[in-house]
Structure 1
Amino acid sequence: MDTNNIKNTLIKRLTFLRKAYESNLKLVVDTFDDEAIHDLRVSLRRIQALVSYIDEICNENISLNLLKDIKIRIKKFNKLRDTQVQIQFLIKQIKKFTEIVDLLVFLKKSEKKQIKKLKKALNLPDFDLSGDFFFYQTKLQQTSCLNLIQMDDIIKNAQNSLNELKTFIAMVEKGKYETYHKTRIKLKKFRYIIETIEEIILSPNEKLKKVQNLQTILGEIQDFTVLLSLIDNFCQRENIEVSKFADFVEFVQQKREEKEQEFWNNIEILEFWDNFLMNY
């Protein structure tokens, strides 16, 4: 693919992501559905990844403060998304572990407060970044940097991200869940880079889905870790003995260990990407 097509492909992707963001934001405002919130955060992360990618590959700060503004918006939804994930999991387990009822009630109250707070934020005139994204796209079309990007630059950037990811995987220790979380951050970056350039390098969609699945597994490990910490904090807050949740805690720990094993069982997908990029 020549440089002009590379530029057009990146701008085309930005247009697609910008429209997805606008659609998802409207859905969140209308429904505040947990799936809509998830989709909005994903659309923001994908735009963030694309903007960051262009800054990195152009070696200049074209985006100015846009990345900071996106990060602030994502952060506003993080706590609510975590709460809703925990609520969904507890609801599925409540028949088996009736002792978690009080914890579920606590989370539902917390969710209500967070939604009320976020609704106020969403109504502020400076929350919506649609205009900022459109302005950025207009500026991007005029910059000379994208006209200079070569395929070698594209491949080298992806390889560097994959190598960084492999370094973090090598430092993962069983039972040290912060190492899985750090690895997930690097995996997420690699996945979004490949998504950004998938039309340019003609990446196999099924192989990209396997990377996404690996990220999901690491996300579930983190969700279980957050839930266990939440139980400890809830017990301290309510002056409850942690032993009340002993059976449920053991169940969650077991599920987390299963996800650890699932991660290692699926790690070979990165070998494909190593070879794919090396032989491009």
Structure 2
Amino acid sequence: MHPAELSILLHRALEVRLARLQELLDAPDWAEDEEQLHQVRVSARRLGAVLDLVDAEIYPGHKGQRRALKGLVDTLGLPRELDVHAGHLRNHLLQAATPAQAAVLEHLLEQVDRGRAKARRAMQKELDRLRLPDLRRLLEVPALQNPFQSTSLQEAAWSCLETRAEAALGELPDLCAHEDPSALHKTRVRIKKLRYAVEALEAAFAEPPEAVLKSLRTLQTVLGDHHDLAALEALLWEAEAGLRLRGRQNLAAGVLDLLGGVAETRRTIYGRFVELADTLRPAAFGRAVRPALGLPPLDGILA
């Protein structure tokens, strides 16, 4: 059970994030617009991050609301991923060096666009079925049972962040030693949740945690770029195999040529990740965050 001061802080963070999500969901045809769809997904993730921090037992319907938000995020996942693929391919098309390269990219874009249309139809059906519960119920004032705890707001905030920092940053050395796209993507999701948690708890800080947030945001962005390229590679390999099976040898060769450039860019971004990860480990996070909270350093913190 959180102390009352932290529970109130988190409830206020909940109000802000819920208001933003409701504003986005109230916009007409938001699901048809690439950027609005992306913003709804981000906003739902931010709200979910606060719900992961609050004491669930004092909020009526918490489990169902959290499940519904996850359902919304998952439903928007494939359309968003295909939008990103299409964006990458359009950028490559603008930079195509020869008509043959442009022809290959136009062919791939046609395939991706068909997939996007299909994914959006499925998404719309799922959204109609999902029927989000009344999220405003989350703003009902919770009953704070036994709210008076001996710990301070700052210590309580650190307790929330400590385990999340270990989960998000603890595996960075292994990931720097071996490039595993799936594991890197999972770490990116955990880093994003850690950043959202820091943002939700910002009012508890004696000093704005801008440096920490910037480091997390930069690492998350690099991992996001890596994931997008790794996913695009997988799509291109699948397209190349399909073209070869249909005897489209020239198009298949063009896809292989494109794959080489995508793979090279992915490896460059992975190198950037290794550089950044070396400076952001759990111990470094603790050394930066505890003083910003106004707390004394701890010997061997998150070693």
* TM bin (shorter chain): 0.7 to 0.9
Aligned partner of residue 187 in structure 1, secondary structure:
helix
Contact 1:207 1:269 in 2 (8 A): no
Offset, 1:62: 7.1
Offset, 1:28: 6.5
Q: Can you list the C-alpha shifts for 1:110-169, whole angstroms capped at 9, x where unaligned?
A: 112222332344445x5234x1x221221x532336664743222022122112223211
How many pairs are equivalent?
274
The alpha-carbon distance between structure 1 residues 175 and 217, as it changes in their structure 2 partners (threshold 3 A), is: same
**Alignment partner, residue 288 of structure 2:** 276
Contact 1:24 1:40 in 2 (8 A): yes
The alpha-carbon distance between structure 1 residues 108 and 147, as it changes in their structure 2 partners (threshold 3 A), is: farther
Matched residue type, 1:171: D
**Alignment partner, residue 170 of structure 1:** 173
Aligned partner of residue 25 in structure 1, secondary structure:
helix
Offset, 1:30: 4.2
Comparing 58-67 and 234-243, the one that deviates more: 58-67
Aligned partner of residue 76 in structure 2, secondary structure:
helix
**Alignment partner, residue 62 of structure 2:** 63
Matched residue type, 1:194: V
The alpha-carbon distance between structure 1 residues 207 and 192, as it changes in their structure 2 partners (threshold 3 A), is: same
The alpha-carbon distance between structure 1 residues 206 and 166, as it changes in their structure 2 partners (threshold 3 A), is: closer
Aligned partner of residue 193 in structure 1, secondary structure:
helix
**Where does the alignment leave 5 or more consecutive residues of structure 2 unmatched?**
296-303
The alpha-carbon distance between structure 1 residues 66 and 24, as it changes in their structure 2 partners (threshold 3 A), is: same
Comparing 64-73 and 239-248, the one that deviates more: 239-248
Matched residue type, 2:168: L
Aligned partner of residue 94 in structure 1, secondary structure:
helix
Rounded to whole Å, the distance in 2 between the matches of 1:223 and 1:28 is 29
**Alignment partner, residue 228 of structure 1:** 233
| Max Rg structure | 2
Offset, 1:89: 0.7
**Where does the alignment leave 5 or more consecutive residues of structure 1 unmatched?**
none
Aligned alpha-carbon RMSD (Å): 2.7
**Alignment partner, residue 214 of structure 2:** 209
Does structure 1 residue 200 correspond to structure 2 residue 201?
no
Residue identity over aligned pairs, in percent, reads 17
Larger helix percent = 1
**Alignment partner, residue 137 of structure 2:** 135
Rounded to whole Å, the distance in 2 between the matches of 1:252 and 1:207 is 31
